[in-house]
Amino acid sequence: MKRTLHPSVNGRSGACRSIATTVLALLIALPGRAQNTTPPPTSAKQTPQDLVDALHAAFGEQHGRANHAKGILLEGTFTASTEARMLSRASIFAGTTLPVIVRFSDSTGIPDIPDTASEANPRGFAMKIRATGVDVDVVTISFNGFPVATSDEFAVFLRAIGASGPGVAHPTPIEEFLDRHPIAKRFVTRQKPPPESYATAAYFGVNTFKFTNASGRSAYVRYRLAPRAGEHYLTPAEVQAKGPNYLLEELSSRVARTAVVFDWYAQISAEGDKIDDPSIAWPESRKLVPLGTITVTRVTDTPDLDRQTLFLPGTTHPGIEPADPMLILRNDAYPISFKTRQ
């Protein structure tokens, strides 16, 4: 039976105190998802396979991407800034315009989640920049922060969702988890409304990288992607008027008329910033250095390219190194999920 989902979650309503459990209850009840009643473990070291299994526990195993399953793949170019070469000696910043594959997506591992569902937040923006002999992958989301600090905690969070279906006694595992983890509760309740377009949302790389330039000088950075079209989000009334695939349809139409452009920035850390904790956003006062421009020009016309594309954001390149341990586990977990959709 088709279910009606909560239209938006932005934390501004008077029902904020109960909205977290409402959102998660709705997420659990989404079509095409089997409930997992296995109680979540409290704390244990998680393997890459454990993390994939936890995603399937939360969203069901759809033989697709374990998370951000619904999306659209496009092609375009990346042009580096001169400032980027001062930060990193990576080949993608050498000055040549390079081809790029871009994927916009909805959250969850449910491939038919309505674009209008609040559970489809945060949105995703992944890109694969193709230099000679190397691909540099970037993965970002439309929220500045992550629900938990570590991959181990993320697996517990996901299993708590899977164990909290209809009929489970209160407090459910996810209610207990959110009560113990205020940052995760904020992540659930303070998402922005659905965007007007994938092209009108800002995106954040929540994990930290170490950039090293040709002189050997290093800096810790997090990524940001700012839309040239500006940030624009829908009102509740506008959301209700949209169809379940409005983001995919709108972006296809938009890019057929004009290029979609994003400016890529590195946010530079300062003393006291958390390098290995993606749940803590760095202060807005931190310096932003432009890395370049992503220009998206068309929806890919290569059959099955989306299914065949794997993003590995934790890969080390000369001048770019993962500084957050979560990136290493993500790099090991993504290929496991990739194999299930081949």
Catalytic residues, by residue number, are: 68
Amino acid at 182: P
Task: Using DSSP, state whether 24 is helix, strand or coil.
Answer: helix
* Omega within 30 of 0 (cis) for the link into 171: yes
Query: Quick one: 51 exposed, middle or buried, by C-beta within 10 A (0-12, 13-18, 19+)?
Result: buried
List, as one string, the DSSP characters of 121-188.
Answer: PSPEEEEEEEETTEEEEEEEESSSS-SSSSHHHHHHHHHHHHT--TTPPSSPHHHHHHHH-HHHHHHH
Among 277, 323, 313, CA closest to 153:
277
60: left (phi over 0), alpha (psi -120 to 50) or beta: left
CA atoms within 13 A on the CB side of 321: 11
